[in-house]
Each structure stands twice: as C-alpha cells, then as structure tokens.
C-alpha cells in the first residue's frame, strides 16, 4: 500500500527532518518527495510506503497530525488510490 502525505504551513527550520524522522520511527519508507517554498510558506508532498503488511493508516494520520501541530504545519495522509481518484481530470 502506498500513500500520499502533504505538508503545508509557514516555513521554519526542521520540518523535513521531523516529518522524515517520524516516518522512519513508524517504519514508513519515503519513495518520492517534492518540496518548495512559496513566499513564506512551506509545501511538501511525499509518496510513502509503510513496511508493515497491514499498516494502521488512521493511527499514522493521528501521529502525523501531532507532529504537524508541534511544527505549526498541517499534515495530511491519503491512501494512494483515494488521492489518485480525487485528482483525476
């Protein structure tokens, strides 16, 4: 199972480090990452793959939300199939 993570918020030091550290702690592999700064705003999208055979996506979402709160950013995660379906043209 793959998932898409988005991170949005005011730019500050340590966002990538904290998010990627949390994902490593949860045994989630980062397959691809794109990030940019739009004026003072940090924007990142990651394609990830949990290494667990049956990952608990809601628990991962809660953990990422807590990480986001500590950083002052918003972090969302969606199953890749849901993300793809929602963004089909």
- Could you tell me the residue range of the domain that residue 72 belongs to? 3-86
The predicted pLDDT at position 85 comes to: 63
pLDDT at res. 89: 59
**CATH code for the domain of 69:** 3.30.70.260
Q: What is the pTM of this model?
A: 0.88
User: What is residue 79's predicted lDDT score, i.e. its pLDDT?
Assistant: 83
- Which segments of the chain have a pLDDT < 50? none
Domain count within the chain: 1
State residue 69's pLDDT score: 97
Give the full edge-to-edge strand order of the sheet including 41-50: 28-38, 41-50, 3-10, 73-79
């Amino acid at each position: 199972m793959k998932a898409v993570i988005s991170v949005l918020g005011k730019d500050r030091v340590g966002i990538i480090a904290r998010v990627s550290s949390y994902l490593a702690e949860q045994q989630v592999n980062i397959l691809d990452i794109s990030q940019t700064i739009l004026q003072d705003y940090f924007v990142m999208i990651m394609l990830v793959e949990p290494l667990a055979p049956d990952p608990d996506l809601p628990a991962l979402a809660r953990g990422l939300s807590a990480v986001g709160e500590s950083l002052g950013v918003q972090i969302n995660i969606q199953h890749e199939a849901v993300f793809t379906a929602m963004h089909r043209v």
